[in-house]
A and B are shown apart, each in its own frame.
Chain A
Amino acid sequence: MHQTFDAAIEMNLLHANQRGADHNRSHFDQWGITCINLMSSPGAGKTQLLESTLKGLQGLNVAVIEGDMTTELDADRLRQHGVPVIAINTGRSCHLDSKMVAGGIHQLQHDHDPTALDLVVVENVGNLVCPAEFEVGEHAKVALLSITEGEDKPLKYPVMFREADCLLITKTDLAPHLEADLDQIEANVRQINPHVAIFRVSAKTGEGLAGWFEWIQQTVINQTNRLQLTV
């Protein structure tokens, strides 16, 4: 008769992705780069926000790693702003993982001088669910929620909004045309994530972007200080 045995594994299901993310982060740290992971549902305005950010953000050298399922449309839009843009086609996958971003980092290193960069923005695939679980090596997570999506989205997709360090409520220029309750959006996010930084922005008119730029500058400074302490 066969005997049944038991073996303890006790390992995170996403162990391999986590290890890859830590590896990516160590590259960023080595080059003095702060990495931000930008996430939202499709159409919340990530690319337009990035365009306005590339235009308005002063004093930082930026590169973008752009995840999209099949096209390079977004990457082409961003390239017009004269910054390095690495496009990653995720194929049928609905999120970026650390391995895909490692490929992007490798290409960035090959085509450009990474030590000249201050900030790498990873624009994730439009999706409010999966990207929340897959770290890519970022130092901070930024979630976008456009006011056309409804106040209840943070309650329905809580993991994404819990994980975010910063929330941008986008498309505020449309507020006069909608019955969107921006205070309610903020209240819903706050009950899930009391410490998240929240900015109401319009990438179209530029309203509120100053606060967002300041948050980026501060995040880069904090990151630089942290690295100096650990060296």
Chain B
Amino acid sequence: MHETDMTKALIGTIHDWWDSQPKHPTIQKIHLIVGAFTCVEPASLQFAFEVQTQGTFLDGAQLVIKDIPLVAYCHTCRADYRPEFGSQYACPECNSPMEDIRSGRELKIDHLEYVAV
């Protein structure tokens, strides 16, 4: 449900950029980076984006979401590992708890593709 709010925030940020351009360009693609260890469901975000952009300056723009996996670092083994969602977050080798998260917490608007009018 909170993907609706996130989409609103996303559109607001893009609108600020669009508004700051001298000739309002046509935005074709918005590239997002979404980590697996966040509370964001990419499919819900896609759906909310389609609904909320209808008839706006972003009508027809495509949302491209790059998924980033959860990768943790084990200090004992001095190695990266991929925790198993829902079952095992500790290191599979030595069972040390998940201390450092290397990636998976990202929630970022990365870049835009646009056509100058």
Cα A84 to Cα B84 with chains together (Å): 44
Residues of A within 8 A of B86 (CB): 152, 155-156
Contact A130 B2 (CB under 8 A): yes
Q: Mark A16-29, 1 if CB is under 8 A from B, else 0.
A: 11000000000000
The reply on A94 being an interface residue by CB < 8 A is: yes
Cα A155 to Cα B83 with chains together (Å): 11
Known: A12-B107, A16-B12, A190-B97. A94 touches B116 (CB 8 A): no
Q: Mark B92-112, 1 if CB is under 8 A from A, else 0.
A: 000101110100000111111
Cα A6 to Cα B114 with chains together (Å): 6
Chain A interface size, as a band, is 35 or more
Cα A11 to Cα B31 with chains together (Å): 11
- In the complex formed, the residue of B with least CB distance to A130 is B2
Residues of B within 8 A of A4 (CB): 28, 113-115
Report which residue of B2, B90, B98 has the largest number of chain A beta carbons within 10 angstroms of its beta carbon: B2
Chain B interface size, as a band, is 35 or more
Residues of B within 8 A of A97 (CB): 5
Partner of A9, one of B13, B37, B99: B13
B12 to chain A, nearest CB (A): 7
Partner of B110, one of A5, A9, A130, A155: A9
Cα A12 to Cα B6 with chains together (Å): 10
Contact A11 B112 (CB under 8 A): no
- In the complex formed, the residue of B with least CB distance to A154 is B89
Report which residue of A13, A14, A193 has the largest number of chain B beta carbons within 10 angstroms of its beta carbon: A13
The reply on B52 being an interface residue by CB < 8 A is: no
Cα A190 to Cα B113 with chains together (Å): 43
Residues of B within 8 A of A159 (CB): 37-39
Residues of B within 8 A of A132 (CB): 39
Residues of A within 8 A of B25 (CB): 5
- In the complex formed, the residue of A with least CB distance to B27 is A7
Contact B88 A11 (CB under 8 A): no
Cα A156 to Cα B115 with chains together (Å): 43
Contact B107 A14 (CB under 8 A): yes
Known: A8-B111, A9-B110. A191 touches B90 (CB 8 A): yes
B114 to chain A, nearest CB (A): 5
Partner of B115, one of A5, A10, A12, A162: A5
Known A-B contacts: A7-B112, A158-B89, A162-B101. Give 14 more (CB < 8 A): A6-B114, A7-B114, A9-B13, A9-B111, A10-B110, A14-B107, A16-B9, A93-B5, A133-B2, A133-B38, A162-B98, A191-B98, A193-B97, A193-B98
Please, could you name 7 A-B residue pairs with CB atoms under 8 Å apart, sorted by A? A10-B110, A14-B107, A15-B13, A133-B2, A155-B89, A162-B98, A191-B89
B residues with a Cβ closer than 8 A to A are 1-2, 5-6, 9-10, 12-14, 17, 25, 28, 32, 37-40, 85-90, 95, 97-99, 101, 107-117
